[in-house]
Structure 1
Amino acid sequence: MLRRAVTVPLVVLLTGVVWLTLPLWLIGAAALSPFVPGHWRALRLTWLLVVALTAESLLLVVLLGTWLASGCGRRLRTAYWEGVHYDLVQGTMWLLFREARRVLHLSIVTEGPEPDAHPGVPLLVCCRHAGPGDSFTLVHALMDWYDREPRVVLKDSLGWDPVVGTVLRRIPARFISPGSGEDLEDQIAALATDLDGNDAFVIFPEGGNFTVERRARAIERLTGLGLHAMARRAEGMLHVLAPRPGGVIAALDAAPEADVMMVAHTGLDHLNGVRDLWRELPMDKQLVMRWWQVPRAEIPEGREERIEWLYDWWQHIDDWVEQHRPEDLSPGRWRR
């Protein structure tokens, strides 16, 4: 609460200052653009930052209004107000992705089962974690294409963003702190309990965004734990981290009626930092998301069998990424 009491006014104040000085920002970005590679790169990035900052500030003002209208927060966790907050998130993300597609020339292609393929069945969504903003893209697709209400597990550090920290404390979600000593599997199980037919529990089994360095550390960790068979399987996967099965198994146990949705994506996963993003603007890229729905009857029951099943799927995702990676990326650059 104290953290948001500091960050919320700062964001709103910063937005006001940016809009008051916006002509200067736009003139400066336009003047800089001829000296920067890429067509109007500086101007495009400036505009996107202004849009994102404005959307965040407006949403914070609306969130204050919902808090007051819900009896100063007393009814916020009711089904009605949770639905209101999901609608607010969906509308804001629609705006941001619309601007990203328009300004960055970014397209998003979704492949997989139709949204009504299994109506009324709750989903456990296991997604590859790589590239900038893939968690936001996944949530956007779940809400916009599949018409689902996501329940998200994410690191506590993301709660520093005032909108994320506010909204995700008003809808079913969990901030977790790896290394804090808390039982993370219990927290995951609690969030995955009592899913209804339009819910989607979201988890990233790799536990972090893919980089070559993290891949090597994950293999070393498995070897150090004496899990040599799992380490060998991880060595055979070039584009994903070795999945950590504990959270997935906890979610499966907590939601025995749910199907599983496996998600792979490629197109932006070679962008590992601000320098990569700057180099690629305007992107003119296509992000492809591939979904596979796994019926509950096809999921094994035993723990060891489920670990093997999860590794099999992650190998399948790795193979799919290998086959669908962007053509303009050479293998050397991709694996850098």
Structure 2
Amino acid sequence: MRISSLPSLGAPPLWLRMVLQGLYPLFGIVMSLVLLLITPFLLLLWPWDRHLSILRCLFLTVYVMWEDIGLVVECWYLRLRSPRGTSPTWDEDHFALIKQALHNVLFTAKRVVGFHVEIEGELTVGRPGHPLVVISRHAGPADSLAIAWLLASTAGRVPRVILADAMLWDPGIAMVLQRVGSYFVPSRSGAGDDRTKGVADLAATLSAKDALLIFPEGRNWTRDRHEDQVRDLRAKGEADRLATAVARPWVLEARSRGVAAIREHAPDADVLVIAHTGLDMISGPAAVIRNVPFRNRLLIRGRTYRSEDVPTDPDEVADWLEARWGEVNYWVDNRISGRDHL
């Protein structure tokens, strides 16, 4: 299961999503057979691929696909049990699906490609009786997956995610996240209305058991994207923003409108700000294969703020987020350069 940004691809129409759901198990069978057929040839590459990185990545890809197919089948089953979605255990059943799938994928990824998560210090996840808003840096492979796993398995909270509508192409992710109440942000080309309206509507429905996950950068950090951002700001003559971007090489600009909408409509939610590092430089399939098995862990640090300590005025939210993003960049820089802790 994957949760990430696919900004260049819009959402499929509803009829196509239904077709994809129906064909998904058949596609999984075909891909599994293909993997079985090419495995002997991949084993012959051992003199050049001593870690069998290609085979490991392909195996994990097919495994994740079957976990995703499992979500589709389980969602079908739950719909048959409760056609109108009125079962008293409807929410709990879908949360259990998410929690188990995330656990299975992280467990398998650790053993197959060495992907593992480590938490620095104590990770607090808000106070009982308060919803939680999670604001995270976005960088490296599967960071969003790991954070969702932490929220579901460690914190026991239902992850409600703000993600690109291109993820509606993924049948399992689309079905289960739509049912627990997530928001698929429409692509810019198709977003005639305010893109923050859906975020605000989602925030207004948060319950005490929920954790709303948002990546204010809007896309995965890479060195190339940061350099592109600096070039664009220089070309536009945005001196202040340029100076900030240059001083923060490990993050992209954080957009505050979504966070401000959440604060306005969920003012009682505690806020967890997450920084992480370890797999930052790995972007794209080729880079992933070159680095398998992963020798670095995904190191996560979280700091939680009480709801009353976080502003709700949009301008104040923007300033508050800027300050937090400076801290995130500083923490990442210290971990990468090996300097002392904050």
Instruction: With the length of structure 2 as denominator, give the TM-score of the two structures.
Output: 0.87
Which residue number corresponds to residue 35 of structure 1?
A: 48
Q: How many Å separate the matches in 2 of 1:23 and 1:220?
A: 46
Q: How many Å separate the matches in 2 of 1:224 and 1:306?
A: 27
Which residue number corresponds to residue 330 of structure 1?
A: none
Q: Residue 219 of structure 2 aligns to which amino acid in structure 1? A: G
Which residue number corresponds to residue 5 of structure 1?
A: 18
Task: Pick the aligned partner of 2:314 from 290, 303, 314.
Answer: 303
How far the C-alpha of 1:222 sits from its partner, in A, is 5.8
Q: How many Å separate the matches in 1 of 2:253 and 2:36?
A: 48
The answer as to whether partners of 1:126 and 1:262 remain within 8 angstroms in 2 is yes
Q: How many Å separate the matches in 1 of 2:70 and 2:225?
A: 37
Relative distance call for 1:21 and 1:276 in structure 2 (3 A) is closer
Query: Which residues of 2 match residues 195-274 of structure 1 at below 5 A?
Result: 195-219=206-230, 228-274=239-285
1:174 pairs with 2:183: yes
Q: Residue 84 of structure 1 aligns to which amino acid in structure 2? A: D
Q: How many Å separate the matches in 1 of 2:165 and 2:282?
A: 23
Query: Which residues of 2 match residues 51-90 of structure 1 at below 5 A?
Result: 51-71=63-83, 74-75=84-85, 80-90=89-99
Identity of aligned residues (%): 32
Q: Residue 237 of structure 1 aligns to which amino acid in structure 2? A: R
Deviates more, 1:175-184 or 1:198-207: 175-184
Structure 1 unpaired stretches of 5+: 328-336
Query: Which residues of 2 match residues 183-194 of structure 1 at below 5 A?
Result: 183-194=194-205
- CA-to-aligned-CA distance 1:44-102 (integer Å, 9 cap, x gap): 2232123112222222222211111112xx116x6621221111011011111101111
Relative distance call for 1:171 and 1:298 in structure 2 (3 A) is same
What secondary structure sits across from 1:34 in the alignment?
coil
Relative distance call for 1:114 and 1:216 in structure 2 (3 A) is closer
1:293 pairs with 2:304: yes
Relative distance call for 1:194 and 1:59 in structure 2 (3 A) is closer
How far the C-alpha of 1:185 sits from its partner, in A, is 1.5
Task: Pick the aligned partner of 2:294 from 283, 295, 302.
Answer: 283
Which residue number corresponds to residue 332 of structure 1?
A: none
The answer as to whether partners of 2:128 and 2:208 remain within 8 angstroms in 1 is yes
Q: How many Å separate the matches in 2 of 1:97 and 1:287?
A: 12
Which residue number corresponds to residue 48 of structure 1?
A: 60
How far the C-alpha of 1:213 sits from its partner, in A, is 3.7
Relative distance call for 1:50 and 1:214 in structure 2 (3 A) is closer
1:121 pairs with 2:130: yes
Which residue number corresponds to residue 140 of structure 2?
A: 131
Q: Residue 184 of structure 1 aligns to which amino acid in structure 2? A: R
The answer as to whether partners of 1:11 and 1:57 remain within 8 angstroms in 2 is yes
Q: How many Å separate the matches in 2 of 1:283 and 1:52?
A: 18
Q: How many Å separate the matches in 1 of 2:74 and 2:277?
A: 34
- CA-to-aligned-CA distance 1:313-332 (integer Å, 9 cap, x gap): 101000000111287xxxxx
Relative distance call for 1:22 and 1:303 in structure 2 (3 A) is closer
Which residue number corresponds to residue 147 of structure 1?
A: 156
Relative distance call for 1:5 and 1:142 in structure 2 (3 A) is same
Aligned length: 323
Structure 2 unpaired stretches of 5+: 1-13
How far the C-alpha of 1:293 sits from its partner, in A, is 0.2
Which residue number corresponds to residue 96 of structure 1?
A: 105
The answer as to whether partners of 1:219 and 1:242 remain within 8 angstroms in 2 is no
Which residue number corresponds to residue 29 of structure 2?
A: 16
- CA-to-aligned-CA distance 1:176-205 (integer Å, 9 cap, x gap): 124222211111111111322211111111
Deviates more, 1:3-12 or 1:195-204: 3-12
Deviates more, 1:106-115 or 1:233-242: 106-115
How far the C-alpha of 1:35 sits from its partner, in A, is 2.7
Deviates more, 1:57-66 or 1:24-33: 24-33
Instruction: With the length of structure 1 as denominator, give the TM-score of the two structures.
Output: 0.88
Q: How many Å separate the matches in 2 of 1:226 and 1:295?
A: 37
How far the C-alpha of 1:235 sits from its partner, in A, is 2.4
Which residue number corresponds to residue 334 of structure 1?
A: none
Q: How many Å separate the matches in 2 of 1:57 and 1:301?
A: 40
Task: Pick the aligned partner of 1:165 from 167, 170, 174.
Answer: 174
Q: Residue 122 of structure 1 aligns to which amino acid in structure 2? A: P
Relative distance call for 1:194 and 1:20 in structure 2 (3 A) is closer
Q: Residue 32 of structure 1 aligns to which amino acid in structure 2? A: L
- CA-to-aligned-CA distance 1:13-70 (integer Å, 9 cap, x gap): 122234456543432322233332x412233223212311222222222221111111
The answer as to whether partners of 1:155 and 1:177 remain within 8 angstroms in 2 is yes
